[in-house]
Structures are given as C-alpha cells and as structure tokens.
Structure 1
Amino acid sequence: MAATPRTRPEIRLEPMTAADLPELAAGNLEAFPTFYAPLEPESRRPPHDVRVRRFAHRLSSVLSSPHVFATKAVLASSGALVAIALWHRPGAPVRNTKRRGLLGGAPEGESAADREAWEHVDLEAHERVWREWDETRERIMGDVPHWYLVPIWVKPAYQGLGIGKALMQQVIDLCDAQSPPTPIFLEADKRGMDMYRKLGFVEVGSSEYVEMVRYNKEGTRPVQH
C-alpha cells in the first residue's frame, strides 16, 4: 500500500527572539553533529543540557547582532518552532558572528558567564574552521554585498514539506526585488544541494560543505566586464 502523502502544516514566519536561543542551540547541534563534534571534543564535553545552555549563551551575541537576520517557522496551530534560518545581511563584514575573537582570544569585557560558555570548546579548532570559511567566502565574493546563510535547519519530523524552501524564499524575494538581484552565498550540506539548485544556486566551490551562490532566479552568473 502506498504511503499517504504528507501535507505541509500551516506555518508562520516570525523573527527569532532571545527566548528561542535554547531551541536554536539544541537544533544546531542536532542538525550538524559531525560539524560541531571536533569543535567540542567528547573528552571535554559537558552533559547535553549544559552544552546546550552554553551554546545558547554564545549564540546570544549572534542573535543580537545588527548584521544578523533571524527567522523561525512556527506552527500556526500551536506556535511551536519547527525550523530556523539565520542570515548575515548585505554589507555585513565577512566575518562569521560565531567567532569569539579576531585572533581566537577572549574579547575584552567578557563576563564570567561568557567565559564559562566557551569552557569546553576547542578554541583553536573553532577559530580555524570559521576563519577558513570566512577567507573562502571573501575570495569568492570579494567586496560584492550579499546575503549569507548561517545556517538553516528543519526539525526531522517536518522535513520534506517545503518549510525550508519557505524560509529561503523569504530572503530570495528580498533579493529579487533589487535590480540586479542581490546575490546569496551559502555552504551547502550535500543533502540540501538539490533544493538549492532548484532555487537558482550554482556551485562555486568544492569544499566538504559546497560553496554555492544564487545570482538570480535563472541560476546564471553575471557577465564580467
């Protein structure tokens, strides 16, 4: 017997708030376990609830950054969060807001809670991975203003229902309202590449998380003069 096709529940797209930080942190760790594992070595890793609490604290500076545009998809029936998308706005510095300090050290003015939030993190590995991603993006995009996706995820029970596409479309519509359209840059988990291609993204790199850019809805690169 064929499975009954699932239909997408009614959702709303809303700005993320500080109250969403624990769910944002837990969702990031669940969606990208192999990415975060070497940055938070198992030998130093605290219990999961402590790990989530510390990550939520670190993400508070991301969510409050004027360079970040953060949206959640919630069920219209209950308000439950089912997906998120975080973006760097055009004109933001090419420096990931998850980085702790420019050279990997503790910024001046950190509180005890700030320092505790980084206690189990391998700071050298953490800084290295974000620095390498920043340098690659700067090499590809240069000084062209662009949106940067950092990251998007949908809870497993709600995947395959078009919710991720709805979150992407929110920013794509903003980009396409400009003439020429504003580019969008992202590093794609290979599981999401087909969706990105259908939305007009083209591959511009070959890293483990493949660099992709959407220049326009046709999926073509602008002509260089």
Structure 2
Amino acid sequence: MPVPASAFRAADLKGSRARRERAEIILSDLTAEDLPAYVEGQWLAFGPAVYDILEPPSIRPPHALRLANAVARNSILLSSSAVRLRKASLPDGTLVGVAFWYIPGHPEWRNPQTRDGSEEAVKGTGLWEGIDGKEWDAFYGNRGGVDRKRAMGDELIGELGASFSAYLAPLWVLPSYHGRGVASALMREAVAWADESSPPRRMYLESTPTGRAVYAQFGFQLQEEMEGGVMIRPARVVEGEVKA
C-alpha cells in the first residue's frame, strides 16, 4: 500500500484544536548533532502508518544500526543550500519539532531523499538496509509529479520560477507537544522567511483534511483541481511587481 504524500503532514498540526499551555521554544537551524533526535522524532511523529511501509519490520535492522544508517543518509541534507531545516527546541536543547523545506529548481537542487539522489559516498554502502526501495522511491519520487510541477510553476516559468518557491516536506512535532504552538511557530517563521526573500517565494504543501484549516490561516489556498490536498501560498506581491 503506497504512502500518500500528504502522510508527512498527518502529524504536524493534530491536536491544535485542543490548546494547551504554549511551549517555550527556540527556533534555529538543525545541526549534525541534532540528527539522531531528528530521525527518532520523525519516526515517532509519523509512526507505523508511514514507516512500516517504507521500512517494513520484517526486514528492518536492529535499532542502533537503523538509527546510524538514517543519520548517515540524512547528513547530506545539512550541506545543501536547496534545503532549509529549522528546528524547535526547548531551552534545555530538547528537540520537539522540525520544519523541512525544499527549494526545487535551485541550482543545487536534487532530491537527496531518493536513493539515486544520494552522494556517491552513500551509494552502495549498505545505508539503505531494511528499506523497501520500491515504496521509498515511489513516495519521495512523487515530488516530481505533474500536479506538483504545476503547483510550483515549473511548467510555466521553468527552473527560475521554481527556485523562488518552497516546498514543505516533513513538518512534525512530538506528540506530547501537539497543541502547544510549536507547529504554528515553525510555520509563522517560514512564512516570514518566504515573504522576506528576494524575490518573495511561493510556498507549496500537501495537507490532510485535518490540517487545512490551520494552514489556511497562514494564507495557504487549497487547489481543488489538484489531487493530494495541494495547498499554495502565493508569493507576496512586491510593490510595482506582479508575482504568481
């Protein structure tokens, strides 16, 4: 059973209706030291509904090896300027949420999450042990789908247009911090970043029905004619210019 692209938004804003005391958090860039917590947090946030398909328990290696492999695979993300990884941490440094933005069309863009997109040092090293390659590539490879290209503007204005877009990959918050303003803080910061970019960036995501009302509060508009819960936030219009 394929994993829908919107599954990586399934755990982002759940619980936002049941507001609790807001968490005191600090937003900053994800670092290499954060990668183990990032990987385990993502596993916890999205759970078996995603990872039992991508990494079937029947072929999954022991936890320590699985974690080490995932950290190594994800380490290449930190060196790419086509990726924006922002974390939400408690004052004591505990990682509680992450927003992961891709910038398709960027000169350095490639999809590092697909096996073919990995660095040469990663290929053939066994770091993909325990992963269902067909399901993994089908899921991450969907970032090149027709609707996504239309949404990002690739077909209309080419790579230059896409480079002034931003695509939300995983946005997750630890379940124990749902409803405490973490996801909203990450989104609010991302919207400000997009608006302040030169030129301002269009923003794109795929949402489950649960999160759509919340994303709408940040200016995202559901694209009824597209599949998969596509939502777009148009680029801020700069005075004297018209942006798509």
> TM-score, length-normalised on structure 1?
0.81
Distance 1:44 1:176, change over 3 A: same
Q: How does 1:37-186 map to 2 (within 5 A)?
A: 37-76=52-91, 78-89=92-103, 91-92=105-106, 95-101=110-116, 108-110=120-122, 115-136=125-146, 137-141=148-152, 142=154, 143=158, 144=161, 145-177=164-196, 181-186=200-205
Number of aligned residue pairs: give it: 210
Question: What SS is found at the alignment partner of 2:185?
Answer: helix
Q: Is the 8 A contact 2:99 2:170 kept in 1?
A: yes
Task: Give the one of 195, 208, 214 matched to 1:195.
Answer: 214
Percent identical: 35
Question: What root-mean-square deviation, in Å, do the aligned CA atoms of Structure 1 and Structure 2 show?
Answer: 2.8
> TM-score, length-normalised on structure 2?
0.75
CA distance in 1, matches of 2:230, 2:52: 21
Superimposed CA distance per residue, residues 42-67 of structure 1 (whole angstroms, 9 cap, x where no aligned partner): 22112333322221211111222221
CA distance in 1, matches of 2:218, 2:236: 7
Pair 1:30-2:49 in alignment: no
Counterpart amino acid of residue 123 in structure 1: G
Distance 1:73 1:40, change over 3 A: same
Q: Is the 8 A contact 2:27 2:86 kept in 1?
A: yes
Q: Is the 8 A contact 1:99 1:130 kept in 2?
A: yes
Q: Which runs of 5 or more structure 2 residues have no equivalent in the other structure? A: 1-17
Q: RCO higher in 1 or 2 (8 Å CA, sep ≥ 6)?
A: 2
Question: What SS is found at the alignment partner of 2:167?
Answer: strand
Question: What SS is found at the alignment partner of 1:86?
Answer: strand
Superimposed CA distance per residue, residues 113-167 of structure 1 (whole angstroms, 9 cap, x where no aligned partner): x622201112222112222232242232223320111211111111111111111
CA distance in 2, matches of 1:49, 1:109: 21
Superimposed CA distance per residue, residues 63-85 of structure 1 (whole angstroms, 9 cap, x where no aligned partner): 22221111111112x12111111
Q: Which residue of 1 aligns with 2:4?
A: none
Q: Which runs of 5 or more structure 1 residues have no equivalent in the other structure? A: none
CA distance in 1, matches of 2:42, 2:76: 16
Pair 1:206-2:220 in alignment: no
Q: Which residue of 1 aligns with 2:10?
A: none
Counterpart amino acid of residue 81 in structure 2: P
My pick for the range that moved more, 13-22 or 126-135, is 126-135
CA distance in 1, matches of 2:98, 2:120: 31
Distance 1:37 1:87, change over 3 A: same
Counterpart amino acid of residue 100 in structure 2: L
Q: Is the 8 A contact 1:200 1:216 kept in 2?
A: no
CA distance in 2, matches of 1:200, 1:83: 21
Question: What SS is found at the alignment partner of 2:116?
Answer: coil
CA distance in 2, matches of 1:157, 1:37: 22
CA distance in 2, matches of 1:198, 1:168: 10
